[in-house]
Structure 1
Amino acid sequence: MSTEVRVIIDRIRAVLKDQKLHFAEILDLFPDSTYRAFLQAWSELQTAGELGREPDGRYFLAAKG
């Protein structure tokens, strides 16, 4: 995993710690990141079970354990 992907993962965690956002809203917070790197980070979080999703489509940081 690249350093860029790790940084994006940490930033997504920080953003979703206190708020729920739609995917596009989260993506908009990363204008300087490549879409590929963002999707790699997103996939890592999804695979690890760290992302939850509300019925209205907003994502949040899921509780671990």
Structure 2
Amino acid sequence: MSPLATKLAAELEAEPTQFHDLVDSHRDEAWREFLTAWGEMREAGILGRADDGCYYVGDPPPETD
């Protein structure tokens, strides 16, 4: 994976995040590069999505009521 995809994956492994929040925290990246990195993670099959809409890498976050 590209350095940006690796960085995004590490962030999502550390803390599940809504897509728009991830985008907001990487506004310094070119949109095309961001989407390419996102696509790399999807193709690698490492992205998960919790019921609350947050994306994560690794184990799913615990469910909250």
Aligned alpha-carbon RMSD (Å): 1.5
Aligned residues: 59
Describe how 1:1-65 pairs up with structure 2 within 5 A.
6-62=2-58
TM-score normalised according to structure 1 size = 0.80
Q: Calculate percent identity across the aligned residue pairs.
A: 32
TM-score normalised according to structure 2 size = 0.80
- For structure 2, list consecutive stretches of 5 or more residues without a partner in the other structure: 60-65
Runs of 4+ in structure 1 off by over 2 angstroms are: none
Deviation string for 1:22-64 (max 9, x for gaps)?
A: 001111121211111100100110111010001111000036x
- For structure 1, list consecutive stretches of 5 or more residues without a partner in the other structure: none
